[in-house]
Amino acid sequence: MRQLAFWEIVSLASTALIAVWAVLALATTRWLLIVPVALAFSFIILSHRIRRETARELGWRTDNFWEAMRLLALPMLAAALLMALIGWFMGSLRVAMPEKRTALLWLPFAGMAWGLTQQYVLQAFFNRRAQMVWGKGWISVLVVAFIFALIHLPNWWLALATLAGGIIWAATYQRAPNLLALGLSHGIMTWVLISTVPQSALQSLRVGFKYFG
């Protein structure tokens, strides 16, 4: 089962890379992205069912929310301060706000939902499979972070940020598996990132082939 967990990691990482490099580059319409996304989520859910993983085991729970938030607080604060310093030195410090005021009502929720979705895939699938192969600890944490960063290439700023974020989130998940806390942290840190790092460096958070145009 360890070997299979390794191939599960390879398979899902391939799907993500196919989506951002092949589909975005070659497909006549972006709607075709639905295919790899649906395939990936079907695969994840079926894998959970075959391995008999419960929602609680995956991190869909509330009892350890504050424990996870406590673990995240210090690294989040340090990362936010570092990004604020970068923004201050580069003159790109601002409060990122949507152009339309009405977006203020739903954009924070959309940001959290997007963060939660990414954390679910990253932790409940990649992290758990990595732990099956390499056990708890730095190796599995680094594997998760490297996969997360790899998907964000060739956007180097974003790859660097996701590598750092990936380490913090994966290490937290191994100690207190709570997806809600991680999703919240992801949403907040994304907002801090776009409020500090220059837009020219972030390239509107574009990744894969889309990064080029």
Using CB under 8 A, pick the residue from 16, 20, 47, 112 that binds another protein.
Answer: 47
Using CB under 8 A, pick the residue from 37, 41, 48, 51 that binds another protein.
Answer: 51
Give the torsion sign (CA, 178, 127, 184, 48): negative
Using CB under 8 A, pick the residue from 41, 43, 146, 209 that binds another protein.
Answer: 43
DSSP string, 5-68: HHHHHHHHHHHHHIIIIIIHHH-SSGGGGHHHHHHHHHHHHHHHHHTT--HHHHT--STTHHHH
Output the smallest distance, CB 9 to another protein, in A: 11
Q: How far apart (Å, rounded) are the C-alpha atoms in residues 57 and 100?
A: 40
Using CB under 8 A, pick the residue from 27, 78, 81, 85 that binds another protein.
Answer: 27
User: Which of these segments, 26-34, 82-90, 105-113, 173-181, binds another protein (CB under 8 A)?
Assistant: 26-34
Using CB under 8 A, pick the residue from 31, 50, 99, 102 that binds another protein.
Answer: 50
Q: Residue 28 interacts with another protein (CB under 8 A)?
A: yes
The H or E element spanning position 187 is: helix 179-196
CB atoms within 10 A of CB 188: 17
- Cβ neighbours for 13, distance < 8 A, ≥ 6 positions apart: 126, 147, 150, 151
Using CB under 8 A, pick the residue from 13, 37, 39, 150 that binds another protein.
Answer: 39
Using CB under 8 A, pick the residue from 16, 31, 46, 144 that binds another protein.
Answer: 46
- Binding to another protein (CB under 8 A) within 72-111 occurs at none
Q: Residue 35 interacts with another protein (CB under 8 A)?
A: yes
Q: Residue 22 interacts with another protein (CB under 8 A)?
A: yes
Whether 125 and 45 have beta carbons less than 8 Å apart is answered as no
Q: How far apart (Å, rounded) are the C-alpha atoms in residues 130 and 110?
A: 28
Q: Residue 124 interacts with another protein (CB under 8 A)?
A: no
CA 22 from centre of chain: 20
Which residues would be at the binding site for another protein (CB under 8 A)?
1, 4, 7-8, 11, 14-15, 18, 22-23, 26-28, 32, 35-36, 39, 43, 46-47, 50-51
